[in-house]
Structure formats: C-alpha cells, structure tokens
Amino acid sequence: MTTAPQPPLPSHPLLRLRLAPHGGMRRAVDGAWWPRSNDLLTELPRLLAGLPREWGHITSVTVNGATWPAVPGRMLVSNQVVRLHRTLAASATHTIVLLSPGQGHRDLLVVPPDTTAKAAEPLMTAAAAAGRQAAGTSTHTSLTHGPENAAASGSTEADPDAA
C-alpha cells in the first residue's frame, strides 16, 4: 500500500474543481477537475480533501490507465485507505470515478493538466452545467478532439499559469 504524504501548501493554493449543482437529477458527470500534474499520488489527496462533505468518505477511485499509468492498488489518504482501480475503457479516458459507500458514485471530467486556462474554462463550465446534454456530449467531444478545439469556444479568460 502506498501512503500519500499530506499535501504540502501548494504554490497554487486553489483546487481547480467545479461541481454541478446539488440536486436529485442524475447527470453524465458531476463536475470537472483540472489537476496541476499527471502525478496521481500527489493530486488525488488534494482532490479528495476538497470534495464536499455530503459526498461522504471516498473509499474507491477508478481512473483511466492511459491517463494515469502509475496507479498502486491502494493508498492511504488522511489516514483512510482508498482503493485505486484502472480501466482502459475508451469511454472513460477523461473521467475519474469516486465511490462512497451509501452515497453511490460521482463521475468527474478530468481536464488534462497541460490544458490552457482559455481551453479549460469552457470544459469546466460545461461539466458543471445542470443538464445532462451540457455536461456530457459537448465536454467529452471537446476533450476527445483535443483542448485546442475547446479554445475556439470564445472564452477570453487569461491563463493564470502563463507568466
């Protein structure tokens, strides 16, 4: 079992996470997460620490093996065991599935870390939109065809990492 160190104070203190509004309607994705690196052992503890309490304790995480190649079977996060699973399903390339007993699963769109802020913003916004159509189809299509196509959506937000 891998023990994840407690996340140090990051140089970028904000977790890049946008969640869909709470409600009874099931949607294709429950929000979007834009990690700062491809290092799951560093990024996952930060994600789990930033989730709403009503999501419960996450005990199992499924990630795409092509996106996150180095995945141990389980890791210790904040003194809790989290089981890690890999899938190679083409439909889950940019998705992370979080499982909480008694709460079910939550699916988050994963925006690749090297995506610019201009390209990431519309993806995050679409994933957090309340409707199934907005959260599923357009977001996954943009990522499938690359973040450069998402930039064409007209977002004018500056890239905070470009300086």
Whether residue 153 lies inside any domain: the answer is no
- What pLDDT is attached to residue 69? 78
Whether residue 3 lies inside any domain: the answer is no
Among 148, 156, 100, 131, smallest CA distance to 20 is for 131
Whether residue 136 lies inside any domain: the answer is yes
Whether residue 2 lies inside any domain: the answer is no
Q: Alpha-carbon distance 71 to 103, whole Å? A: 24
Domain total in the chain: 1
The 10s digit of each residue's pLDDT in 100-156 is: 999 899 999 999 999 999 999 999 999 998 444 433 444 443 453 343 333 333 232
Q: Alpha-carbon distance 78 to 4, whole Å? A: 8
Region of 100 on the Ramachandran plot (φ > 0 left; ψ -120 to 50 alpha; else beta): beta
The residue range of the domain holding 62 is 16-146
- What pLDDT is attached to residue 7? 52
Whether residue 89 lies inside any domain: the answer is yes
Whether residue 53 lies inside any domain: the answer is yes
SS3 label, residue 23: coil
DSSP 28-85: S-SEEE--SSS-HHHHHHHHHHHS-GGG----EEEEETTTS----SEEEETTEEEEEE
Cβ-proximal residues to 103 (8 Å cutoff; 6+ apart), any chain = 54, 55, 56
The 10s digit of each residue's pLDDT in 8-66 is: 545 556 899 999 987 666 678 899 999 999 899 999 999 999 999 999 999 999 999 88
The H or E element that residue 17 is part of is: strand 17-19
Query: Cβ–Cβ contacts within 10 Å for residue 157, how many?
Result: 12
- What pLDDT is attached to residue 61? 96
Taking CA atoms, 63 is separated from 68, 109, 163, in Å, by: 7, 11, 31
Whether residue 5 lies inside any domain: the answer is no
Whether residue 103 lies inside any domain: the answer is yes
Q: What is the pairing mode between strands 80-87 and 95-100? A: unpaired
Q: Alpha-carbon distance 135 to 141, whole Å? A: 11
